[in-house]
A and B are shown apart, each in its own frame.
Chain A
């Protein structure tokens, strides 16, 4: 999915390390993640936060991902990407405890 000409397969150790980094990051970013989730609950009141986040998300996807891929196109589609974004944010917000590493791993296997 990434904009890269080199196809490197991720090793299990690297996958584990990425999960650990993601969990640590989401611990620090929990207040922001929470606000983004909250902004979508009452879209009329807090639409600015959601719109800003969504705009930046799409910018980053266009910048770093291969936009010719069908899966990336799905991420860019405004009608379809809401559910993916909300679920991804929910997964991150559920994994901020000390056992977050295990939880995130489990969520990734079932997602």
Chain B
């Protein structure tokens, strides 16, 4: 008897079917050996496949969503799936079958369905009952970026006061240039008329 687990988010639902790994002393309700998965999106054809397809498809969605936010050209292409943005609101998904002579499945989904699908994948990633190769959310933000956020303020605080002080000194001292200096003038006149 196979176990079935479903993850729902608004218009999308993901179903995982499989068995626990008894050799690893797992509970009966656990799924470690996935035999099938199905992704159902309202008003769209059912997407199903084998375990080896699930990981790449999840990765494709995650990478694509990152590209979409990053202001880069949102195009993801692989052997199994292509995702391309029609515009800011609609996304074109092409699912290529691994079987020969099967036409690729083309889906058009909007932002709402895209976020529903990604949230279904998030639920699967976080579920303690399913053991799959999790798609990692990078937790290490590069040191350069961190430094930029934390130290940006300190850097300015450190350099701006002396900079303003130097500027004000220059301005203040430059005003003295225009003061009349009679001693200098007398000396100059003496040089011109030595009589």
Contact = CB atoms under 8 A, between A and B. Distances in A.
The number of chain B residues touching the other chain, given as a range, is 20 to 34
A94 B111 contact: no
A94 B115 CA distance: 6
Given A90-B68, A94-B118, A82 B141 contact: no
Contact of A41 (B66, B110, B126): B110
Given A37-B112, A87-B69, A90-B68, A97 B119 contact: yes
A40 interface: yes
Interface size grouping (class) on chain A: 20 to 34
B145 interface: yes
B109 to A, nearest CB: 9
B110 A109 contact: no
Interface of A is mostly: helix
A50 to B, nearest CB: 11
Interface string A69-102: 0000000000000110011011101101111001
Contact of B88 (A12, A38, A83): A83
B6 interface: no
Given A83-B88, A105-B141, 16 more contacts: A34-B115, A37-B111, A38-B112, A40-B89, A41-B90, A41-B111, A86-B111, A90-B115, A93-B115, A94-B65, A96-B119, A97-B119, A97-B126, A102-B137, A106-B137, A107-B69
